């Protein structure tokens, strides 16, 4: 299908999946309440979990944000278009369906060229990750079809580049707070702002500052757990993911990323889904050292997603 066809579908109030640099999104016209309702229905998403509005210019921020603080201007200048979502105080016109009744709105300008074209021509678009709620986010068009059916409209651009969802930062509060860690880290943000920012502690979202953080997420059907100290991989119904310690034996169920966290992040959700296809019972993942967590934003983003998958109730 040509992009024109997807654009028409959105203009007709339908929902369409499309690639961004992080994960595939499920797009709908941000000014069409019926289309937005379809997004919640399609995902089985709780109504109290707000959506990110995707735009394709800095000036579009004015349409949704009641005010644009200096911190936001600096972050937009440094990181947009890109994998950073900013939370602003919202204008009254922004649909409550999108913000789940919160006084704030989340905005992001993705860098993927196809998402930019789609948004410029049919947007602004709300776009949660294009997965059934609770499942791993889609990093391939096939993942979207797995969750939504073979005939679901998805703009197929192969594998997404980053593989984990955008960093979410609230700049409506002072100092700014990171609700969801991602590829763009605290240190990079602090360098741009010249001030300290904080990462919200796990569970803080439960008090409804960022409702999405309270839900179990990203889970395959297999159990996800951290590798124990000195535990050695054994050939059984498990998938092992190592990033630092060399497991010595390798197979298609014992994977070693050799410190390449970018590749690890890009592949994580696909590994989760593959595990389910192969009837794997456990995904066992090497924990990240304190040093790596301190030094690398991507290690913290990976740890955040894996911990959530591991916390899933059986
Ligand atoms: O990378 C991404 O951000 C992807 C791609 C498609 O752009 N989208 C994505 O959307 O991950 P979603 O809906 O799966 O996650 C959005 C997160 C949720 O945790 C939600 O609670 C939070 O952003 N959020 C949205 N609006 C918010 C608001 N006004 N205040 C606090 N958190 C908000
Ligand atoms: Mg999601």
The best mutation among 81, 134, 182, 210 to test binding of ligand 1, ranked by most ligand atoms within 8 Å of the C-beta, falls on 210
Give pLDDT tens digits for 161-171. 999 999 999 99
Tens of pLDDT, residue by residue over 79-126, are: 999 999 999 999 999 999 999 999 999 999 999 999 999 999 999 999
User: pLDDT band at 209, cuts 50/70/90?
Assistant: low
Which ligand does the CA of 173 lie closest to?
A: 1
3-state SS, residue 63 = helix
pLDDT above 80 (res 202)? no
Inform me whether the pLDDT recorded for 302 exceeds 60: yes
Q: 293 or 202: whose pLDDT is higher?
A: 293
Closest ligand (CA of 136)? 2
* Whether residue 164 has its Cβ less than 6 Å from ligand 1: no
pTM for this model (two decimals)? 0.95
Q: Is residue 26 in contact with ligand 1, taking CB distance under 6 Å?
A: no
Q: What is the whole-number distance in angstroms between the Cα of residue 14 and the centre of ligand 1?
A: 20
- Looking at residue 206, what is its pLDDT? 45
| Three-class secondary structure of residue 23 per DSSP | coil
Distances (CA, A) of 129 to 78, 118, 300: 24, 16, 20
* Predicted confidence (pLDDT) per residue in 4-46, tens digit: 999 999 999 999 999 999 999 999 999 999 999 999 999 999 9
């Amino acid at each position: 299908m040509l992009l024109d066809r997807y654009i028409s579908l959105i203009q007709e109030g339908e929902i369409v999946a499309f690639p961004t640099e992080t994960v595939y999104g499920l797009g709908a016209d941000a000014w069409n309440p019926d289309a937005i309702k379809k997004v919640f229905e399609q995902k089985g998403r709780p109504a109290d979990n707000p959506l990110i509005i995707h735009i394709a210019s800095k000036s579009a921020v004015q349409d949704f944000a009641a005010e644009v603080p200096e911190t936001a201007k600096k972050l937009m200048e440094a990181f947009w278009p890109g994998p950073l979502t900013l939370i602003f105080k919202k204008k009254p016109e922004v649909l409550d369906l999108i913000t789940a009744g919160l006084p704030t709105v989340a905005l992001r300008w993705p860098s993927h060229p196809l998402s930019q074209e789609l948004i410029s021509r049919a947007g602004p678009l709300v776009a949660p990750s294009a997965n059934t709620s609770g499942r791993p986010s889609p990093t391939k068009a096939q993942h979207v079809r797995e969750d939504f059916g073979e005939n679901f409209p998805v703009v197929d651009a192969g594998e997404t580049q980053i593989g984990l969802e955008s960093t979410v930062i609230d700049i409506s509060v002072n100092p700014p707070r990171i609700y969801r860690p991602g590829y763009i880290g605290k240190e990079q943000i602090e360098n741009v702002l010249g001030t300290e920012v904080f990462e919200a502690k796990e569970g803080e979202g439960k008090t409804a500052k960022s409702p999405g953080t309270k839900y179990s997420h990203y889970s395959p059907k297999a159990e996800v757990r951290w590798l124990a100290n000195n535990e050695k991989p054994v050939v059984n119904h498990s998938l092992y993911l190592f990033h630092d310690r060399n497991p010595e034996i390798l197979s298609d169920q014992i994977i070693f990323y050799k410190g390449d966290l970018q590749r690890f992040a890009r592949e994580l959700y696909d590994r989760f889904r593959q595990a389910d296809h192969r009837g794997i019972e456990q995904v066992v993942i090497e924990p990240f050292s304190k040093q790596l967590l301190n030094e690398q934003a991507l290690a913290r983003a990976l740890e955040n997603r894996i911990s959530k998958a591991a916390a899933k109730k059986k």
